Structure 1
Amino acid sequence: MQTDDAAGAPAPRRRRADAVRNTEAVLEAAKAVFAEAGVDAPMRDIAARAGVGVGTIYRSYPQRSDLIIAVFRREVGAVAAEAERLGREHPPLEALRLWADRLARFVATKRGFSGALHSGDPAYQPLPAYFLGALAPRVQDILDAGAREGTIRADVRAEDLVPALIRLANSRSDEHGGSGLDMTGVLLDGLRAAHPEAGGADQARPPGPVGADPR
């Protein structure tokens, strides 16, 4: 005979599964709405897109900042995972170029987050460190692989490169043109390891740090 516990087991599992689905739906909807209307968009718009009630959102995210942070962390995790995947599937320089483009798309659709991050709200203070901490190790793996095979300079550190790429991605979004993308290419070209057989005057000059003023 089935016990009460066994009989009741499927219901909690269903509730947990529904909660997971609702959370994913809310975060995906918030991502889209924030990209379209900014992080101050009405919660009812997010709820409508997610197919849930506004109360469902507030039960999980009592403050707007809670939802913004959850979306930010989720998206940063996706960008970090993309760096890991690209590093496995492509040569280091190509992986770095593809990932820089992915980072630029992330920045372009998260412009509303910049105001929140710099609003002075203590809830957002840990996020810049979280962002760099999530991305830098994956990017450093790509840089290290390139250094081992001799295609990327060994002195490049992800802690310097990632902020430089973000600044260029912001420039690309601000100008709505190609210059930001072109400058990203220039920066990444500068990461190439020098080879003695290349010769030339530039070969004798030691490279400066990433992002340094060339003057």
Structure 2
Amino acid sequence: MSLVKVEKRDKVARVTLNRPEKKNALSPAVIGEMEGVLRSLENVSVVIVSGEGGFFSAGGDLSVMLSAAEDQRREFSKRGNDFMDFLQDFGAITIAAIEGGAYGGGLELALSCDLRVASSKTKMGLTEIGLGLIPGWGGMKRIARIAGYGAARYVALTGKVMDGSEAYRLGIVNYLSDNPVEYSNELASGLSQKSLDSIRAIKTLLGTAQYSSDLEADLFGKILGTQNARTTLEKFLKK
């Protein structure tokens, strides 16, 4: 059975973690398969990430970590970090449809997406401190970038399990809906009409360590020269 399922309709792909018996825990095999699926996608503007069985992800697979030697645990963290960076920089808009719960590495996966949709009852948190661990896949820095260092300290140091409403108030969740997957599908339908060149340029600029006005000018010039941009502008000017 595949650990990750993928469905594609027009310019929207839905990538679903398919390990419901383990609450979609993220093992090295799951991470590897998910990266392979994403790399295989072509002509896609939006990717929805979700979990099978009404649950997003319980996080990193603790059974794998417990049985691993120190160098293997270090590699597990590095491999997860590399994948989260890859997902963050992926050349399409990524939406995490968070149902049920997203704990530890599961929340780190959601934080690596561009947008997050949850219900008010969804549970989430960087819960590692309660297990004597630390977040190992970049979740702390991503919360700091998304919601500020105060929120990052609060979430990581308390290990509190938040509901979707609290995460929304903190700025970690972008949209609240009783049905996150359905809402994500509707959101993706509209976003898929956006220019893929523009999406990729915006993500490139936001992904740079220090926002570069020179890079912005370079990408602006290149995109304005594309046929898609010129056609869209010509239609707009004729209104």
Is the structural similarity TM-score above 0.5? no
More strand by share: 2
- Which structure has greater helix proportion? 1
